[in-house]
């Protein structure tokens, strides 16, 4: 499998199925991005090698064309000097170089087409990697939020109706104690009130008796009423 096929498989993989089967989705996402990065690094080396080959062929083709032009120029100089022998020799050299040019041109064109295609694919893969990194951050954030929500839900389920029924039970006991305390306060209040009335009555009687004694001492008591004579 080629490098581009490997990277294509990574990007086309059913991420949801992969994550569903993974024990740790966050770790799986990070591993997938690492694999993409490693594949793109290898692809970059392959593209660089292709470009280097293209540039080598380009230099050879430019050099061959220059040599062809140079031998043609030399042949023209020989003709001007009435040296047809030298002109023919120069043209023979030019013919050899021209055959080399003819051979190099399609090879160079093919190499350039290949390297251009690989450059374009590499740019597309880098864009995909950037997208994957962005999605990785988003999915990890969603995963962490989902874990937090799950933990909260589990905590809430742990504090279920049974826990609240215990609170209700305790509240009922407290209300009962409060009622009993209030009842005892009311009963104690009634006895106290009755005792206070008796104390007040006793105090009033003592004050009246002491007032009479003081008046008698001061001679301020009214004379006692005369009793009617007894009938014989």
Span 215-228, pLDDT tens digits: 677 776 777 666 56
Residue 164 pLDDT: 62
If asked whether residues 131 and 100 sit together in one domain, one would say yes
User: Is the separation of the CB atoms in 71 and 94 below 8 Å?
Assistant: yes
Between 120 and 29, residue with greater pLDDT: 120
Residue 129 pLDDT: 86
User: Is the separation of the CB atoms in 40 and 124 below 8 Å?
Assistant: no
For the entire predicted model, the pTM comes to 0.51
Residue 1 pLDDT: 47
If asked whether residues 135 and 206 sit together in one domain, one would say no
Q: Residue 33: which domain range?
A: 3-160
Q: Which of residues 123, 138, 160 is at a domain's end?
A: 160
- Alpha helix (H) residue ranges in the chain: 3-12, 15-21, 25-80, 84-158, 161-217
DSSP 37-100: HHHHHHHHHHHHHHHHHHHHHHHHHHHHHHHHHHHHHHHHHHHHTT-HHHHHHHHHHHHHHHHH
User: Is the separation of the CB atoms in 43 and 4 below 8 Å?
Assistant: yes
- pLDDT at position 11 over 70: no
How many distinct structural domains can be found in the chain? 2
If asked whether residues 142 and 190 sit together in one domain, one would say no
In a domain, 225, yes or no: no
If asked whether residues 34 and 146 sit together in one domain, one would say yes
Percent of the chain topping pLDDT 70? 71
If asked whether residues 130 and 92 sit together in one domain, one would say yes
User: Is the separation of the CB atoms in 221 and 215 below 8 Å?
Assistant: yes
Radius of gyration of the chain (CA): 59
- pLDDT at position 106 over 80: yes
If asked whether residues 57 and 123 sit together in one domain, one would say yes
User: Is the separation of the CB atoms in 78 and 94 below 8 Å?
Assistant: no
If asked whether residues 183 and 93 sit together in one domain, one would say no
User: Is the separation of the CB atoms in 126 and 37 below 8 Å?
Assistant: no
Residue 14 pLDDT: 47
Backbone angle region of 82, left / alpha / beta, with phi > 0 → left and psi within -120 to 50 → alpha: left
User: Is the separation of the CB atoms in 49 and 119 below 8 Å?
Assistant: no
Q: Which of residues 115, 133, 160 is at a domain's end?
A: 160
> How much is the mean pLDDT over the chain?
79
Distance CA 147, CA 153 (A): 10
- CB environment 196-210: b (16+ within 10 A), e (fewer): eeeeeeeeeeeeeee
Over residues 171-207, the pLDDT tens digits come to 778 887 877 777 776 665 555 666 666 667 666 667 6
């Amino acid at each position: 499998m080629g490098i581009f096929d490997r990277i294509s498989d990574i990007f086309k993989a059913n991420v949801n199925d992969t994550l569903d089967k993974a024990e740790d989705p966050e770790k799986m996402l990070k591993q997938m991005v690492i694999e993409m990065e490693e594949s793109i690094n290898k692809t970059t080396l392959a593209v660089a090698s292709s470009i280097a080959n293209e540039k080598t062929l380009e230099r050879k083709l430019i050099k061959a064309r220059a040599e062809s032009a140079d031998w043609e120029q030399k042949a023209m100089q020989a003709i001007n000097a009435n040296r047809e022998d030298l002109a023919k020799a120069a043209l023979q050299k030019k013919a050899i170089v021209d055959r080399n040019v003819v051979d190099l041109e399609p090879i160079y064109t093919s190499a350039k087409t290949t390297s251009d295609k690989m450059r374009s694919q590499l740019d597309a893969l880098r864009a995909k990697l950037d997208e994957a990194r962005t999605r990785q951050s988003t999915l990890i954030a969603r995963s962490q939020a989902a874990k937090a929500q799950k933990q909260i839900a589990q905590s809430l389920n742990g504090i279920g109706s049974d826990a609240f029924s215990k609170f209700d039970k305790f509240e009922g006991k407290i209300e009962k104690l409060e009622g009993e305390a209030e009842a005892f306060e009311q009963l104690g209040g009634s006895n106290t009130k009755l005792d206070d009335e008796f104390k007040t009555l006793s105090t009033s009687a003592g004050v009246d008796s002491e007032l009479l004694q003081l008046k008698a001492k001061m001679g301020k008591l009214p004379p006692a009423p005369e009793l009617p004579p007894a009938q014989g």
